[in-house]
Chains A and B, each alone.
Chain A
Amino acid sequence: MIVAETSPNPQARPAPASQQQPADLWHVVVLNDPVNLMSYVVMVFKKVLAFDEMKARKHMLEVHEQGRSVVWSGVREQAEAYVFTLQQWHLSAVLEADEAR
């Protein structure tokens, strides 16, 4: 499993039972913003999510053209760590529960 470069402390603060999703699949979604450069976003995806150049560019273009891209899916704690790290790089990253389950 990929480990985020830096982590807030979400692991130390588990969600209350009422907020835990039985499906336990969460998405890290990056939203478009009008400021960050395409090359910067590609670099951040490579650095934080360990994407290769092609995958990083694909997700960057999704963000740019469709307004959002799901860049990672998995367990909540790891997803939270990614959201935090992407926010450290000033990307608009949000955590979304998988609604399909």
Chain B
Amino acid sequence: MKRVEVKLNLEAVAPLLDVIKDAADDLRPVLAVAPHVPDHEADFADGWKRELLEGQNGDIGVFLGLFGSEFFLTGVVPLDPTNSEAILRACSAVRLRLRAKHLEPLGDEALESNEVPLEEMPETQQKAFAAYVFLATLQELIVQHLDPTGLE
């Protein structure tokens, strides 16, 4: 089983964890993306959303598990095929939430190009943007090195 250990800069990443955990907490009762549910009876839509939410919460739990006491000792997060899919999805959910909560006023073009007026932004928004970029980097790393499609 392929396993990748990523050594993160503790000084850079630890301050982002508050804003990440805050976004993750927001997502506990709601989906990162309001889903389009196919036309069925009302209880079908409820079940559909409930299953999505359970999955989202499970993924976020796996993701937050990366940042336990071991991480604060070593700065290392272990990635392997057993956690990579959940982490990818959790990163996506948290990025969606960070954008909705903190980054929307910056505009999509600025966010896509990473050209944001960092020094003019309030500290919370700076951290949210840094977390947004960090999570994208983690996703890129997993896609490149662990090939979650299993087609490697």
Contact = CB atoms under 8 A, between A and B. Distances in A.
Contacts of A93: 36
Interface in B112-152: 112, 136, 139-140, 143-144, 148-151
B96 interface: yes
Contact of B93 (A13, A43, A90, A92): A90
A8 B51 contact: yes
Contact of B92 (A19, A36, A47, A80): A36
Contacts of B35: 87
Interface string B99-110: 100000000100
Contact of A39 (B47, B93, B108, B143): B143
A68 interface: no
Contacts of A89: 88-89, 92
Chain A contact residues: helix, strand, loop or mixed: mixed
B5 interface: no
Contact of A83 (B38, B40, B136): B38
Given A37-B140, A88-B52, A90-B92, A47 B150 contact: yes
A15 interface: yes
Interface residues of B, number: 33
B89 A90 contact: yes
A54 interface: no
Contacts of A40: 88, 92, 139, 143
B89 A34 contact: no
A16 interface: yes
Contacts of A16: 40-41
Nearest to A26: B38
A93 B48 CA distance: 13
B44 interface: yes
Interface of B: 32-33, 35-36, 38-41, 44, 47-48, 51-52, 55, 88-89, 92-93, 95-96, 99, 108, 111-112, 136, 139-140, 143-144, 148-151
Given A19-B40, A87-B35, 4 more contacts: A34-B112, A35-B99, A88-B89, A89-B92
In the A-B complex, the 4 residue pairs with the smallest Cβ-Cβ separation, listed nearest first, are A34-B108, A94-B36, A46-B149, A90-B92
